[in-house]
Chains A and B, each alone.
Chain A
Amino acid sequence: DAGITQSPRHKVTETGTPVTLRCHQTENHRYMYWYRQDPGHGLRLIHYSYGVKDTDKGEVSDGYSVSRSKTEDFLLTLESATSSQTSVYFCAITDSGRGGVHNEQFFGPGTRLTVL
């Protein structure tokens, strides 16, 4: 199994509070991704990183920010959580390949976030 962990695994928070989710990898892979999974939508990309301090937006980035100060860690922050951000969040990693899409992605175990 790819060495990828997420923390916390479960979190319940209140509307308006900041929340940070952590993705940690031991594979030294260049690319890291944050997705959210919602019924009827499959996996939607929030943000991704293609190197330390290099990040870009995905299709559902509003309300989220990310940071990557080390190869192994990719943080997802909800500055002010809303109920619409209740979801399961998955981190994924992949090796470089040609632009990062030629190699399979390895997924973390997921974080279930509930915003009340």
Chain B
Amino acid sequence: ILNVEQSPQSLHVQEGDSTNFTCSFPSSNFYALHWYRWETAKSPEALFVMTLNGDEKKKGRISATLNTKEGYSYLYIKGSQPEDSATYLCAFGTGTASKLTFGTGTRLQVTL
């Protein structure tokens, strides 16, 4: 079983704060790293899929970076808003199988 770890487990910030989360994954046999946003009572939705070392992706106020050599990815949220409140999942894909291993997520709560 592959070990994909996310930290922190939960985070509570004020509106306007910038924040970041970490996803750690095995540095060998890397194929892809996914980030998903999961709102309560909804289904996970993809934010980013990154495949190359050094990849940087951005969508609005949310961005992500990837370091495959050391096995980590960061997700950044600039100027957090209450609507950013959700659980953020990362998932690691290897080349040996067509499947993802998910971390347990970082739960973000943004208050006014």
Q: Which residues of A line the B interface, CB within 8 A? A: 31, 33, 35, 40-45, 48, 50, 56, 58-59, 90, 98-110
Contacts and interface: CB of A to CB of B under 8 A. Distances in A.
A43 B99 contact: no
Contact of A99 (B91, B95, B101): B95
Interface residues of B, number: 25
Which of B32, B97, B99 has the most chain A CB atoms inside 10 A of its CB? B99
B32 A107 contact: no
Given A35-B102, A101-B98, 5 more contacts: A42-B89, A45-B100, A99-B95, A105-B36, A106-B46
A93 B53 CA distance: 26
Interface string B73-112: 0000000000000000101011101111111110000000
Contacts of B32: 101-102
A42 B51 CA distance: 22
A102 B49 contact: yes
8 contacts: A43-B102, A44-B102, A50-B98, A59-B101, A99-B95, A102-B32, A104-B46, A110-B43
Nearest to A4: B43
A58 to B, nearest CB: 7
Contacts of A102: 31-32, 49, 51, 93
B92 to A, nearest CB: 9
B62 to A, nearest CB: 15
